[in-house]
C-alpha cells in the first residue's frame, strides 16, 4: 500500500520529485497557481449567451445533437474495446515469449543442474519488462501509476485531478500496464481499462486533443463539464465492460460511482457504449484467436462457464454460514495486515523517479524469485490432464506425465491462475500448496500495490480470494461434499468486495463474468457481509486513497446526525462579490490573490442583493478578450464575444498571471451582466445541512449562494464546506481539507 503514503502524487509532477514547484512558473500544469485538485461544475451557467444559443436552436438541431451523442458513445465503446484488445494481445504475446524462454531454460537445466541460471533469466526478464513500464510512468506521467480508479471516481464525483484525462496519460497507462503484467508482477490489467475508457471518452467527446495540438472542430457543443462528465461515465462503463465482459455491470459502476442524477436517455447511451465495447473486444479477439464469429471472450478476464447444478442450492446457503464466519475472521486478519502495511509504508517515501524505477525492478525480481522458490521447493506433482488453462505445464522434478502443481499458480498470467482455481476439478491442488501460495501472493500484492507502475488491484484480489476460497472448500470437503471451485468463486468475490467495497455493480460484474444468474444470491450475500465487516474496521481501498488526498469528495448523503447544522454554520463567509459593472483592477486583484482562491463569485446589485454568479474561468476569458465597457465603442467593428470563445478556452483556462492587464486597463470597467448566470440556486440561512447537501448532490453544484430574507448575499457554500463533515466513530467530525 505504498501508494497510499504518496499523498501528494496526484497533485502535480513537481511534488513527486520532492521539490516544491515555484508558484508562478508559467507552466500550464500549475493552473491558477494551484497544485490542488480542481472541482467540476455540473450546473450549466445559463447566462445570456447560452440562452441565446439554445433559443436559436431548432427542434431539429436538438435531434442532431442527440444523434451526435450516440455516435460519440459508439466511438467511445469501439475505441475502448480496441485498446482492451491491444493490451490483451500484447500481454499474451510478451508473456508467451517470456514463459516460453524460461520454460525452455528450466527444462534444459533441470537435468543438467544449475537452475539458478533459469532463476536469473526469469528475474532479469521480469525486471526488464517492469523497468520500461516504470520508467514511462515515473518520468513521463506519474498520474498513470496505479489503477486510476480512485481518480475516475473523483472525476465522476466532481473533483478534477489534474492531467487525469489526457491523451499522454492514456498512452503511458497502456504501455505501463502491458509492461507490468508481462513483467509478472502481482497486478491485473482490468483497473487501468476503466481509466483508459474514461480518457478515451474525454478525448473523443471534445473533438480535439490539446496534447497533439489538434482541434477537429467537431463536437464543440460538448465542451463543458456537464457533457464531458456524461461521456466520461460512458467511457468508464465501457472500460469495465471490456475488462470483465460485463456491460450491465459497467453501467452500474458508472452510476454507483458518479451519477448524481439518473437520466434514462443517458443511461441508455452509457449502456450502448458498454455493449459496443465488449462486442468490439470480443470480435477482434475472436479474429486474433483464429475463430472469427465465435465471440467467446467478452472481457479481458473470463471466469469460464459455471454451470448451475445442485451445488448452487439451498445447501449452499447453509454452507454459506460457515463461509461467512470464516470470512469475517479472515477480513479482520486482512485489515490488520492492511493497516500494518500502511503503517510501515507510510514511513517510506520514495520520491525520486529513478529510485521508484529501481524499486519496481526489485519487486519484479523478488516476485520471480519467490515464485521460483515456491515452485522449486514444492513437490506437489499432479497428473498432466487435458486442461486447456494449463498452458505452460512445468515438469521440473515430477515424473513423466505429471506436472508441478505450484507452477499452475505462479508460472502463468494471473487471469489464467484465477480460471484454474475456479474450474480445475477437485483434487488438483494440495491444501498446503494453496496455503503457502495465498500467503506469498498476498504479501507480494501488498508490496506491488504501491509501485510506480500502471496496474490494477482487481486480479490480485480475485486470485488471493480464489486461492483461500478454494483452500476453504478443500478443507470443507473433508467434512461434507463440496465443490472447491464454487468456493473459489465465493472467496474471490469476498476478497475483491472487501478491498474495493463496491456493492451492486460488483455483484452484477461477478454475475456477468460467471455468465450464470443463479450465483447472484450467494455472491450478493458474501459481498454484503464483506462490506459490513470491512466497513467496521477500515474504509475501502479507493476511499482510503481518496481520503488521503483530502479532496472534497461528496458522499451519497449528508451525515445522518447533521440536522442541527444549518447553511449559516456551513457556509464560507464573508464572500467576495462583484458588482454588475465592476472595475477591472479589482477583478484582477481578487483573482490574483493567492491567499484566498475562489472559483465562483456572486454578482450583486446595491445593498448586496444577489443578481448572478460568475466563475473564475469566465472572468479570465473576459479579461483575455478585454471585454471592457470603455472599449465597447472601439470594438463595434470587432465581433462580440461568443460562447465559442469560452468553449475554445475550455478546459485549460490560462492562469491569471499569464494575462497582461496594463495600468490604464485597470481603470476600465467590465459589464458582467451578459456573462454571469442570472439565476444561481440560493438557499436561506436556516436551511439544514442535509437539505443543502441534497441540493448540491442532486444538481451537481459547485457553489450555492446563501441569502438572507432580503435576498442579500451572506455566504457561499462550496463542495469543500460540505465535504468537511464526516461521520466518525463518535458522530459528526470535521475534516481538514486541502485549500481549494
Residues 230-249 that bind its own copies (CB under 8 A): 245-248
Question: Residue 137 contacts by C-beta under 8 Å, 6 or more apart in sequence?
Answer: 144, 145, 172, 176, 452, 453, 454
494, three cell numbers: 469476498
465 to 504: interface string for its own copies, x by CB under 8 A: --------------------------------------xx
Query: What does the DSSP 8-state code read for residue 598?
Result: -
How many alpha carbons fall within 13 Å on the CB side of residue 70? 7
Question: Residue 343 contacts by C-beta under 8 Å, 6 or more apart in sequence?
Answer: none
The answer to whether 82 contacts its own copies (rule: CB under 8 A) is: no
279 to 308: interface string for its own copies, x by CB under 8 A: x---x--------xxxxx-x---------x
Count of chain residues binding its own copies (CB under 8 A): 88
Could you say which of 30, 131, 204, 275 contacts its own copies (CB under 8 A)? Answer: 275
Could you say which of 35, 205, 278, 618 contacts its own copies (CB under 8 A)? Answer: 278
How would you label 683-713 residue by residue, b for 16+ Cβ within 10 Å and e otherwise? bebebbbbebbeebbeebbbbbbbbeeebeb
The answer to whether 518 contacts its own copies (rule: CB under 8 A) is: yes
705 to 734: interface string for its own copies, x by CB under 8 A: --x-xxx---------------x--xx---
Could you say which of 112, 310, 399, 479 contacts its own copies (CB under 8 A)? Answer: 310
Considering only residues 36 through 55, tell me which ones interact with its own copies, judged by CB under 8 A.
44, 46, 51, 54-55
Considering only residues 314 through 333, tell me which ones interact with its own copies, judged by CB under 8 A.
314-315
- Is the separation of the CB atoms in 566 and 685 below 8 Å? yes
Q: Which stretch binds its own copies (CB under 8 A): 21-29, 485-493, 638-646, 679-687?
A: 679-687
Question: Residue 445 contacts by C-beta under 8 Å, 6 or more apart in sequence?
Answer: 186, 187, 457, 460, 461, 464
Q: Which helix (H) or strand (E) holds 159?
A: strand 159-160
Could you say which of 507, 529, 617, 740 contacts its own copies (CB under 8 A)? Answer: 507
Q: What is the DSSP string of 573-601?
A: -S---EESEEEHHHHHHHHH-SSS--SEE
Q: Which stretch binds its own copies (CB under 8 A): 83-91, 201-209, 484-492, 514-522?
A: 514-522
357, three cell numbers: 524505477
Least Å distance between CB 60 and its own copies?
Answer: 10
- Is the separation of the CB atoms in 277 and 115 below 8 Å? no
Least Å distance between CB 57 and its own copies?
Answer: 7
The answer to whether 688 contacts its own copies (rule: CB under 8 A) is: yes
Return the residue matching grid coordinates 461544475. 41
Least Å distance between CB 242 and its own copies?
Answer: 13
Report CA-CA distances (Å) from 634 to 582, 641, 666: 19, 14, 17
Q: Which lies closer to its own copies via its Cβ, residue 185 or residue 533?
A: 533
578, three cell numbers: 462583484
Rounded to whole angstroms, the Cα distance separating 46 from 64 reads 21
Among the listed residues 543, 499, 508, the one whose alpha carbon sits nearest the alpha carbon of residue 237: 508
The answer to whether 212 contacts its own copies (rule: CB under 8 A) is: no
Rounded to whole angstroms, the Cα distance separating 253 from 664 reads 54
Q: Which lies closer to its own copies via its Cβ, residue 303 or residue 411?
A: 303
Q: Which helix (H) or strand (E) holds 665?
A: helix 663-666
Q: Which stretch binds its own copies (CB under 8 A): 383-391, 409-417, 430-438, 604-612?
A: 604-612
Q: Which lies closer to its own copies via its Cβ, residue 108 or residue 291?
A: 291
Q: Which lies closer to its own copies via its Cβ, residue 81 or residue 183?
A: 81
Q: Which lies closer to its own copies via its Cβ, residue 283 or residue 376?
A: 283
Rounded to whole angstroms, the Cα distance separating 24 from 31 reads 10
Could you say which of 251, 421, 459, 620 contacts its own copies (CB under 8 A)? Answer: 251
Q: Which lies closer to its own copies via its Cβ, residue 128 or residue 699?
A: 699
Q: Which lies closer to its own copies via its Cβ, residue 461 or residue 507?
A: 507
Rounded to whole angstroms, the Cα distance separating 579 from 672 reads 8
Could you say which of 683, 704, 716, 717 contacts its own copies (CB under 8 A)? Answer: 683
Could you say which of 108, 329, 388, 609 contacts its own copies (CB under 8 A)? Answer: 609
Q: What is the DSSP string of 163-184?
A: TTT-HHHHHHHHHHHHHHHHTT
The answer to whether 524 contacts its own copies (rule: CB under 8 A) is: yes
Three-state SS sequence of 501-563? CCCHHHHHHHHHHHCCHHHHHHHHHHHHHHHHHHHHHCCCHHHHHHHHCCCCCCCCCCCCCCC
The answer to whether 585 contacts its own copies (rule: CB under 8 A) is: no
Q: Which stretch binds its own copies (CB under 8 A): 276-284, 339-347, 595-603, 629-637?
A: 276-284
The answer to whether 508 contacts its own copies (rule: CB under 8 A) is: yes
Among the listed residues 149, 175, 95, the one whose alpha carbon sits nearest the alpha carbon of residue 496: 149
172 to 211: interface string for its own copies, x by CB under 8 A: ----------------------------------------
Q: Which lies closer to its own copies via its Cβ, residue 82 or residue 295?
A: 295
Considering only residues 552 through 581, tell me which ones interact with its own copies, judged by CB under 8 A.
556-557, 560-561, 563-564
- Is the separation of the CB atoms in 600 and 720 below 8 Å? no
533, three cell numbers: 465487516
The answer to whether 263 contacts its own copies (rule: CB under 8 A) is: yes
Alpha carbon of residue 158 to chain centroid: 13
Amino acid at each position: 500500500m505504498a501508494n497510499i503514503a504518496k499523498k501528494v502524487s496526484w497533485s502535480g509532477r513537481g511534488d513527486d520529485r520532492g521539490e516544491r514547484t515555484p508558484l508562478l512558473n508559467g507552466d500550464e500544469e500549475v493552473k491558477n497557481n494551484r497544485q490542488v485538485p480542481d472541482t467540476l461544475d455540473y450546473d450549466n451557467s445559463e447566462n445570456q449567451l447560452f440562452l441565446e444559443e439554445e433559443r436559436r436552436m431548432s427542434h431539429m438541431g436538438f435531434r442532431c445533437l442527440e444523434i451526435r451523442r450516440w455516435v460519440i458513445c459508439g466511438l467511445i465503446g469501439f475505441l475502448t474495446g480496441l485498446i482492451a484488445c491491444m493490451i490483451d494481445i500484447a500481454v499474451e504475446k510478451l508473456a508467451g515469449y517470456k514463459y516460453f524462454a524460461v520454460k525452455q531454460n528450466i527444462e534444459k537445466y533441470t537435468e543438467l543442474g544449475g537452475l539458478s541460471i533459469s532463476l536469473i533469466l526469469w528475474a532479469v526478464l521480469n525486471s526488464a519488462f517492469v523497468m520500461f513500464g516504470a520508467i514511462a510512468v515515473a518520468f513521463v506521467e506519474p498520474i498513470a501509476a496505479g489503477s486510476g480508479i480512485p481518480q475516475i471516481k473523483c472525476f465522476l464525483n466532481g473533483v478534477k485531478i489534474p492531467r487525469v484525462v489526457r491523451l499522454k496519460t492514456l498512452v503511458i497507462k497502456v504501455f505501463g500496464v502491458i509492461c507490468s503484467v508481462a513483467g509478472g508482477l502481482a497486478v491485473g490489467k482490468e483497473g487501468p481499462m476503466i481509466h483508459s475508457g474514461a480518457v478515451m471518452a474525454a478525448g473523443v467527446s471534445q473533438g480535439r486533443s490539446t496534447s497533439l495540438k489538434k482541434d477537429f472542430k467537431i463536437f464543440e457543443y460538448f465542451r463543458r463539464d456537464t457533457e464531458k462528465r456524461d461521456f466520461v461515465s460512458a467511457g468508464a462503463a465501457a472500460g469495465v465492460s471490456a475488462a470483465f465482459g460485463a456491460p450491465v455491470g459497467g453501467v452500474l459502476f458508472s452510476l454507483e460511482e458518479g451519477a448524481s442524477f439518473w437520466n434514462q436517455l443517458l443511461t441508455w447511451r452509457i449502456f450502448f457504449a458498454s455493449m459496443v465495447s465488449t462486442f468490439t473486444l470480443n470480435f477482434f479477439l475472436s479474429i486474433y484467436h483464429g475463430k472469427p464469429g465465435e465471440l467467446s471472450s467478452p472481457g479481458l478476464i473470463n471466469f469460464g462457464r459455471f454451470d448451475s447444478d445442485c451445488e448452487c442450492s439451498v445447501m449452499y446457503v447453509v454452507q454459506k454460514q460457515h463461509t461467512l464466519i470464516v470470512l469475517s475472521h479472515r477480513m479482520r486478519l486482512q485489515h490488520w495486515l492492511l493497516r500494518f502495511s500502511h503503517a510501515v509504508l507510510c514511513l517510506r517515501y520514495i520520491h525520486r523517479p529513478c529510485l521508484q524505477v529501481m524499486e519496481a525492478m526489485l519487486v519484479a525480481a523478488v516476485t520471480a524469485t519467490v515464485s521460483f522458490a515456491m515452485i522449486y521447493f514444492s513437490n506437489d506433482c499432479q497428473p498432466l490432464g487435458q486442461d486447456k488453462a494449463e498452458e505452460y505445464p512445468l515438469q521440473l522434478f515430477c515424473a513423466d506425465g505429471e506436472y508441478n502443481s505450484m507452477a499452475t499458480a505462479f508460472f502463468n498470467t494471473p487471469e489464467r491462475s484465477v480460471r484454474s482455481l475456479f474450474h480445475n476439478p477437485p483434487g488438483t491442488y494440495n491444501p498446503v500448496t494453496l496455503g503457502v501460495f495465498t500467503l506469498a501472493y498476498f504479501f507480494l500484492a501488498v508490496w506491488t500495490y504501491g509501485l510506480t507502475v500502471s496496474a490494477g488491484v482487481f486480479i490480485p484480489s480475485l486470485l488471493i480470494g480464489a486461492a483461500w476460497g478454494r483452500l476453504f472448500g478443500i478443507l470443507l470437503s473433508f467434512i461434507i461434499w463440496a465443490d472447491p471451485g464454487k468456493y473459489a468463486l465465493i472467496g474471490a468475490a469476498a476478497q475483491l468486495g472487501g478491498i474495493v467495497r463496491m456493492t451492486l455493480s460488483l455483484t452484477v460484474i461477478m454475475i456477468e463474468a460467471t455468465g450464470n444468474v443463479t450465483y447472484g444470491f450467494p455472491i450478493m450475500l458474501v459481498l454484503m457481509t464483506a462490506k459490513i465487516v470491512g466497513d467496521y474496521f477500515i474504509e475501502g481501498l479507493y476511499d482510503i486513497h481518496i481520503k488521503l488526498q483530502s479532496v472534497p469528495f461528496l458522499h451519497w448523503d449528508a451525515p445522518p446526525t447533521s440536522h442541527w447544522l444549518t447553511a449559516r454554520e456551513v457556509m464560507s463567509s464573508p464572500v467576495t462579490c462583484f458588482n454588475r459593472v465592476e472595475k477591472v483592477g479589482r477583478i484582477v486583484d481578487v483573482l490574483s490573490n493567492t491567499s484566498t482562491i475562489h472559483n465562483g463569485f456572486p454578482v450583486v446589485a446595491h445593498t448586496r442583493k444577489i443578481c448572478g454568479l460568475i466563475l473564475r474561468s469566465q472572468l479570465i476569458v473576459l479579461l483575455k478578450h478585454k471585454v471592457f465597457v470603455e472599449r465597447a465603442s472601439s470594438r463595434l467593428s470587432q465581433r462580440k464575444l461568443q460562447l465559442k470563445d469560452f468553449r475554445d478556452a475550455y478546459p485549460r483556462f490560462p492562469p491569471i498571471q499569464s494575462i497582461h492587464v496594463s495600468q490604464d486597463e485597470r481603470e476600465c470597467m467590465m459589464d458582467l451582466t451578459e456573462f454571469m448566470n442570472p439565476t444561481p440556486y440560493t438557499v436561506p440561512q436556516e436551511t439544514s445541512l442535509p437539505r443543502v447537501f441534497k441540493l448540491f448532490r442532486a444538481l451537481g453544484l459547485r457553489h450555492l449562494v446563501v441569502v438572507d430574507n432580503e435576498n442579500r448575499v451572506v455566504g457561499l457554500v462550496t463542495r469543500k464546506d460540505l465535504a468537511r463533515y464526516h461521520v466518525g466513530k463518535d458522530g459528526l467530525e470535521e475534516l481538514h481539507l486541502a485549500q481549494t
